[in-house]
Structure 1
Amino acid sequence: MYIFPDVRHGRNRCWKRVSSCRRRSSTRSCRIGAAISVADSGTIIKLLIEKFPSQVEAIELNPIQTAVQIDPKIVVAFFEFIATHPDLKMAYLSSISGVDTTTNIDIVYFISSIEYKHKLTVRTKVDRQGGKIDTISTVIKGANWFEREIWELFGVEFVGHPNLTQFLLPDDWDEGHPMLRDWTGRNFVKMPEIGG
């Protein structure tokens, strides 16, 4: 089965499903199935805010990428909702990043729907020292190694993670979390500031 854009409705708005193609003598005929609706940023945000009022805030709306800030207490329920909702089906996790803002550690999830072509950036904040957040690896299996990497490099504990062990740094590493802005290790060399 192939999916082609229906140019009459605009490339990003409506897609037609080609359900089957048959070869008849030297020509090929294809039956066009039902259109697959692609929700816009506003519709996605509306769904999320209706489900999680006062726990989801839109921080960026554009046709390519929608971004939301969520309460860290709802992270598992949030990802279960967007992965299973029939109009979203966002279950492809492309990355999780950690960002040290010097006051918090931001956990940034990049997730999308293969079927509907939706993309969503989900941002949440945890404490910089001893920060904890529930694992989403029970909902989205692809989160496993991303969460291990953030735990190892930033020190954020993913509660309920099945295998929170080191895999990037050496087994005998005892110098803390090297991606924190104030980290200094034994062989750390501070580079001079550029500009002035």
Structure 2
Amino acid sequence: MTSRADWTNTTHDWAASVDQAHLEAIRADPARYAPGGVRHLLLEVLAYPDDEAESTGARGRCEVELYGDGSIAVTDYGRGTDTRVDERGNVVKKPIMATKDLRFFDDPAAPSLPDGHPRRGMSVVAALSEWLVHTNRRANGAWTQRYEYGVPVGGLEPIAPDGTTGTTVHFRPIAGLAPLDGFPHLDISVVRLG
């Protein structure tokens, strides 16, 4: 175990699990951070399994489920979100939902998503969702955590491993965003539920 202060920050800063000011700024300007509404949020989520497939050199696969309550779940079968143990023995997950993505959020040259708008990161999805449930399965354990408007509600809840790895992000966007108006041309499986 190494000190949390010594962990290398690549995509997110491991020092804090929540950046309230960052989340509030996103919630204050949904038109800027979710241009096109729910479709943009879905593209933000789909960008992460795409990163995973690119970094591992394997062909990725994910499933998108649309629910009658307006929520959307995206499940991928990658390695799962990085989880570490700090010097006190606490399990710490990479703070992707409630902090800035260091690669994209403040970068004017951030890559565009398929809708032509800049990629900002998962914190945009979390902040602009009434609730979001992040379920993570890794070789060394599995857990779930709930967020409301980007803020964690409770800690990591262990779940039984099922022999798979990957991540599910299930979220219900805030009211007032433009509804999902169809999917971009992407290689995904789509399931409509309820």
TM-score (norm 2): 0.30
Which is strand-richer, 1 or 2? 1
TM-score, structure 1 length as denominator? 0.30
Q: Tell me which of the two structures has the higher relative contact order, counting C-alpha pairs closer than 8 angstroms and 6 or more residues apart.
A: 2
Q: Which structure has the larger Rg?
A: 1
